[in-house]
Chain A
Amino acid sequence: EADIYQTPRYLVIGTGKKITLECSQTMGHDKMYWYQQDPGMELHLIHYSYGVNSTEKGDLSSESTVSRIRTEHFPLTLESARPSHTSQYLCASSVPGSPLHFGNGTRLTVT
């Protein structure tokens, strides 16, 4: 089934660890996004991509980085996690002028 998949679903790690949140979509969408969201709160755009080898920073400053080597894959990496990174991270994809499709999210806790 065509969808957008995020792994892991939940992650608890210690301060200073490097982590990568995975996002893959099977819909052939060119545009992909990463949002940071505290439960029930505003969606903050942290990174987006128009296609392969394209990455842009979003509206919210983030210490994370992204890469887009393949159309279907848009991983997000934190080089050194901190408690302030505790949040939910939502990946999404779309084609221009059409709605975003969201993944189920990764709930990250940094202790």
Chain B
Amino acid sequence: GENVEQHPSTLSVQEGDSAVIKCTYSDSASNYFPWYKQELGKRPQLIIDIRSNVGEKKDQRIAVTLNKTAKHFSLHITETQPEDSAVYFCAASNDYKLSFGAGTTVTVRA
């Protein structure tokens, strides 16, 4: 089955700096890669996703890149703000099953 590894497990950045979270996956059949943000006490919510026919996608301060050959994808947050503090989960999906990474706790220092 699919195995998704996520690094780092914790990340502390100064407000205004960039944050990068990296994930690797094992199943070459995976074709859909969503990223979720979970604020304290709230449900995970989709922030951005990418499909395997696209190498990069951007939405304002958030971008995701995908390298299918190396089987890794990354989340980039630029100009971080205190409201970016949360746990971020990557995931990889084929048409049947979605597998999550273990999560990254991001803390933005004011």
Contacts and interface: CB of A to CB of B under 8 A. Distances in A.
Nearest to B6: A42
The dominant DSSP class at the A interface is loop
Most buried by A among B44, B49, B96: B44
Given A96-B95, A97-B93, A97-B95, A42 B100 contact: yes
Interface of B: 31-32, 34, 38, 40-46, 49, 87, 89, 93, 95-96, 98, 100, 102-103, 105
Interface of A: 39-43, 90, 94, 96-100, 102-105
Nearest to A44: B100
Contacts of A105: 43
Contacts of B102: 42
